[in-house]
Amino acid sequence: MSGGRFDDVADGYLATMVPSLRSVAARVVARAALQPDERVLDAGTGTGIAAATARGEGRRITGIDAAEGMLALARRDVSGVTFRRMDFEQLAFEDGAFDVVIAAHALLFATDPVRALREWRRVVRAGGRLSLSVPGPEGEAPQAIYAGIYARHGISTEGRYPSGGTLAGWARAAGWTDIATEADPGHAITLPDEEAFGVWRSIGSRGAATAHWSPDQHAALTAEMLAVTPRDAHGSLRIPFGVLYLSARRAID
């Protein structure tokens, strides 16, 4: 897992995605049921929003990410957390180094989700816990409104977002137990205006798929997407971005 693309888009991610993901990170932390003095790993910490929420009561929080650009923002904005650059599929920690692993919207960037979940299990003590979120399922993700537009422009996102059953299956295959999932199909990314929409469209999988395009191609895609994007009563754009949550435990051998 390389952090290069997120090094380039860190500021745009902070401006467009983070405001709508703060509530998701808070829910991930709440589902982790953190206790005083626990050792917590925030895998794929990004700008550190879940790590920030997990602070307090003597907990030792470590946030890791492959993108130095993201970590620079986390170090600037979040105190009391140790941030390290690291691939979350190959963790440089001993077995059982943490009591809890949290991950807010990071797992889908794994090359192999099961391998990542198995590595997260390795660094949690027996009886330790996992709490994470991913966007999805497919019908509640951005392609719910953009699928036809993506197809016309040759952008494939098929199979990107798991169902709750698939997510639980990944955790089970990685050796986790006591697996529980929760869905929030009504969640959305809220953007104040067309300028913010353009920034959002330039990051993530959409940016990677269209990096070689001309300015005219980008403008055409943005215009088509804006035409079908819902707005709220205040005129802000609302992009469907449902959330799946998962919690689990490492069995006591």
Listed by start position, the domains of the chain span: 4-138+157-189+241-249
d(CA 132, CA 171): 11
Strand 243-249 and strand 237-240: the pairing is unpaired
pTM: 0.93
The pLDDT tens digits for 2-31 are 455 566 678 998 999 999 999 999 999 999
Instruction: Tell me what the mean pLDDT of segment 225-230 comes to.
Output: 96
pLDDT value of residue 93:
98
Residue 91 · residue 118 · CB < 8 Å: no
Q: Which residues pair with 113 in a beta bridge?
A: none
Handedness of CA 199, 72, 53, 33 (dihedral sign): positive
**pLDDT value at residue 189:** 95
- Name the CATH superfamily, with its identifier, for domain 4-138+157-189+241-249: Vaccinia Virus protein VP39 (3.40.50.150)
Structure-token pair, residue 40: 């917590």
- Asked if 1 and 110 count as a contact pair (C-beta separation under 8 A), the reply is yes
Question: What pLDDT does 155 receive?
Answer: 83
Residue 129's SS3 state is: strand
Higher pLDDT, 3 or 96: 96
- Which strand ranges, in their side-by-side order, compose the sheet holding 98-104? 82-85, 60-65, 39-43, 98-104, 124-135, 243-249, 177-184
pLDDT per position as a tens digit, 45-87:
999 999 999 999 999 999 999 999 999 999 999 999 999 999 9
State the average pLDDT for the chain.
92
- The proportion of the chain whose per-residue pLDDT surpasses 90, expressed as a percent, equals 76
